[in-house]
A and B are shown apart, each in its own frame.
Chain A
Amino acid sequence: MVAVDRFIENFLDACDFEEPVEATADTELQSLPQWDSLAKLAVIVLFDTEYGKAITGEDLKTAVTVGDVFRLLGD
Chain B
Amino acid sequence: MSLSTLSHVRFAGMATCVPRRIISNLEDCRPQIRGDRARLVRNIGIEFRRLCPEWQCFSDLALVAAEALLEKLQWRREDVDALIVVTQSPDYLIPATAIILQDRLGLSQATVAFDVNLGCSGYPFGINILGSMIAAGGVRKGLLLVGDRCARLEDPIFSDAGTATALEFDAAAPPMYFDLNSDGSGYRAIILPIGGHREPVGVQHLLPWREDENDHWHYKTELQLDGPAVLSFSTQRVPPAVEKLLAYANVAKEDVDYFIFHQANRMINETIRKKLGLPEARVPSTLRDFGNTSGASLPVTMTARIHAELAEGKKRLLLSGFGIGLSWGGAILELEGAAFPALIEA
Contact = CB atoms under 8 A, between A and B. Distances in A.
A57 B229 contact: yes
B223 to A, nearest CB: 15
Interface in B265-294: 267, 271, 274-275
Contact of B267 (A42, A58, A60): A42
Interface stretch (B38-46, B103-111, B168-176, B321-329): B38-46
A45 interface: yes
A38 B39 contact: yes
A41 B40 CA distance: 12
Contacts of A44: 228, 231-232
Contact of B236 (A41, A54, A58): A54
A15 to B, nearest CB: 10
B272 to A, nearest CB: 10
Contacts of A45: 231, 235, 267, 271
Given A16-B43, A42-B43, A42-B267, A56 B229 contact: yes
B254 interface: no
A35 B213 CA distance: 10
Given A18-B39, A45-B231, A56-B229, 4 more contacts: A38-B43, A45-B267, A49-B271, A57-B229
Interface of B: 35-36, 38-40, 42-44, 213, 226-229, 231-232, 235-236, 267, 271, 274-275
A56 B232 contact: yes
A72 B39 CA distance: 26
Interface string A35-75: 01110111011001100001011101000000000000000
A16 B267 CA distance: 13
Tell me what chain B mostly uses at the interface: helix, strand, loop, or mixed. helix
Contact of B39 (A16, A48, A56, A60): A16
Interface residues of A, number: 19
A56 B228 CA distance: 7
B36 A34 contact: yes
Given A37-B213, A49-B274, A18 B36 contact: yes
A61 to B, nearest CB: 9
B271 A48 contact: yes
A42 B262 CA distance: 19
B132 to A, nearest CB: 34
Contacts of B235: 45, 48
A36 B213 contact: yes
Contacts of A41: 43, 227-228, 231, 267
A73 B296 CA distance: 37
Contacts of B36: 18, 34
B228 A57 contact: yes
A18 B40 CA distance: 10
Contacts of B42: 16
A17 B38 CA distance: 11
Nearest to B38: A18
A33 to B, nearest CB: 11
B268 to A, nearest CB: 8
B227 to A, nearest CB: 5
A14 to B, nearest CB: 10
Contacts of A34: 36, 39
Contacts of A17: 39
Contacts of A36: 213
Contact of A57 (B35, B227, B267): B227
Contacts of B226: 57
6 contacts: A38-B44, A42-B267, A48-B235, A48-B236, A49-B271, A60-B228
A42 to B, nearest CB: 7
A34 B271 CA distance: 22
Contacts of B40: 38
